[in-house]
Amino acid sequence: MTGLSRPVDRRSVLRGMLAAGAAATLGPAINLSSAQAAGITTGSYRIRFDQAAKQTILGLGFEIQSDSIASGNGGLPSTVSGVPYDLTASERTRFYQQMLKAGRSDRGFRFCRLALGLYHRGVSADGKHLVDRYPGQTDLLAEMVGQAGVEGLMAEYWSPAPGWKVNNSLVGQSADKKTNYGLTSFAPADLDALGDAMVADLDYLAAKGLKISYWGLQNEPDNGEDYSSCVYTAAQYRDTFKAVAPKIRAKYPNTIINADSQYGWKGAYGQALLADPQAMSYVDNWTFHKIGTDSTGQITTDYVTGAAGRPVFNNEFEYLNGAMTDWRCINTAQSIMNWMTFQNSPTWFWLHALKPIGNSESEGYSLGLWRPPGDTDFSAGHYPDLQAGHWQFNPRNWNAVSGFVKYLPWDSVRYHVEEPLHTDGSYYSEHRIMAWRTTAGKPVFALTNRSATESYTYTVDTQTAAAFQGHRYGPATTDQTLPAKTGPTLEITVPPLSIEFWVRTP
């Protein structure tokens, strides 16, 4: 797979692999039964390293909250608070090494999603450009990206600068959350000027050494919210995209352009782009938000066939409400695996690396939690042992994602696995497998058991006589080393609510 330094080649290769692999990976029609998980305790699997690779997996992404948002996403406080800004110097280094690199010595997460107009929301004097809201904001982001080995940003607008909008505000909330808070004008000359301003916003970031790996016109373009947002009709989105995307491509030819950051090609916005060949010439991939959904949906729903050869992936995953559960931990891991196995996705994004302990949504949104300097509540139940400027892991989310960051290095290539099916032709939804080779040729595979009560035994033909070392994760388990097993056939019993990675040694 061609690397990001040659994006035109990468786009064409991804599209070709997607089209070639779609029929094979989608499998038979699904008819799930409620008895799927009951009584199934073993299955035989064969990793087809002897066949052609299915797709290159670029690496995973995270979002960074580099500025404040009110608890429950209730608005934009004037308070300056975010990461890495709030962290002490030593905690920043620990954040970069232990989370963003997942303990690797080289690099872990590949992409950082930055919410333009929300978590990077300073406004220029003329109201037409986004800049730092506090001194050194972009410098700190560049430090984070550099020290953590992150390749670059997924720069995506939650709102353009307010000078382009009807209400002259970053916030897009309205009574029905859909009217009157879009752009001031969609006249060609005004969209042309908007495009120049959006290029300048990227120039501001790039001048600090930040690479723009991906760009998106608008997060969830049909939602006006209490926080930064901008509402478009499908036609307005298409027209704006057609005006701005060519300017992004001309100035940043290495940047991959996303659409539509909610429903991908399936929604009204994607359909408007699909109907316009000029617009489609700038669409590199489709992004979806399947937020906290059952991972089985990536088995039963076809996200590939209507994508016009563009890759598809989920660029926002979190749990919006309700208490975190052990089931959710395993479900998140399976979301990663199922997007890649059944939809040929090249990447997958978790919403936030760190969230502040004072926000009600933080437990479901974060891989870790930090205490802002202004939070002086050390009472029981409010993380009394977490000091100001310090952070800690959020285990159910972190343990679901971190094994993929550590054991699925950049540009690994996925291979097909022959696996058992139910009598109705459907896949096992509680027991998932995915296999890949690293760029060094080392075979690795991941296993899950989403059952809360029963262990599950995988009998895996690895097609190699080499030894494999196991690493177990779960709601309260982080990278537990397991006894090595020697191939070619490995019998592996995975306990309830567990994720395992088996890596060839040495």
DSSP string for 366-391 = EEEEE--TT-----TTS-TTPPTT-E
Give the list of residues 6+ apart from residue 240 with CB closer than 8 angstroms, or none: 183, 186, 191, 194, 217, 232
Give the list of residues 6+ apart from residue 372 with CB closer than 8 angstroms, or none: 81, 86, 356, 358, 388
pTM of structure? 0.92
How far apart, in whole angstroms, are the C-alpha atoms of residue 329 and residue 333? 7
Q: Do residues 432 and 445 make contact, with C-beta atoms less than 8 angstroms apart?
A: no
Nearest residue to 75 via CA among 171, 168, 219, 174: 171
Angle at 284 between CA 283 and CA 286, to 5 degrees: 80
SS3 57: strand
pLDDT in tens, the chain (506 residues): 223 332 333 333 333 434 334 333 333 333 333 344 567 899 999 999 999 999 999 999 999 999 999 999 999 999 999 999 999 999 999 999 999 999 999 999 999 999 999 999 999 999 999 999 999 999 999 999 999 999 999 999 999 999 999 999 999 766 666 666 799 999 999 999 999 999 999 999 999 999 999 999 999 999 888 899 999 999 999 999 999 999 999 999 999 999 999 999 999 999 999 999 999 999 999 999 999 999 999 999 999 999 999 999 999 999 999 889 999 999 999 999 999 999 999 999 999 999 999 999 999 999 999 999 999 999 999 999 999 999 999 999 999 999 999 999 999 999 999 999 999 999 999 999 999 999 999 999 999 999 999 999 999 999 999 999 999 999 999 999 999 999 999 999 999 999 999 999 98
E-strand stretches of 168-311: 212-216, 256-262, 285-288
Task: Give the chain's domains with CATH numbers.
Answer: 31-55+413-505 (2.60.40.1180), 59-407 (3.20.20.80)
Burial 436-460 (b: 16+ CB within 10 A, else e): bbbeeebbbbbbbbbbeeeebebeb
Q: Do residues 158 and 117 make contact, with C-beta atoms less than 8 angstroms apart?
A: yes
Side-chain half-sphere of 485: how many Cα atoms within 13 Å?
20
366-370 and 352-356 strand pairing? parallel
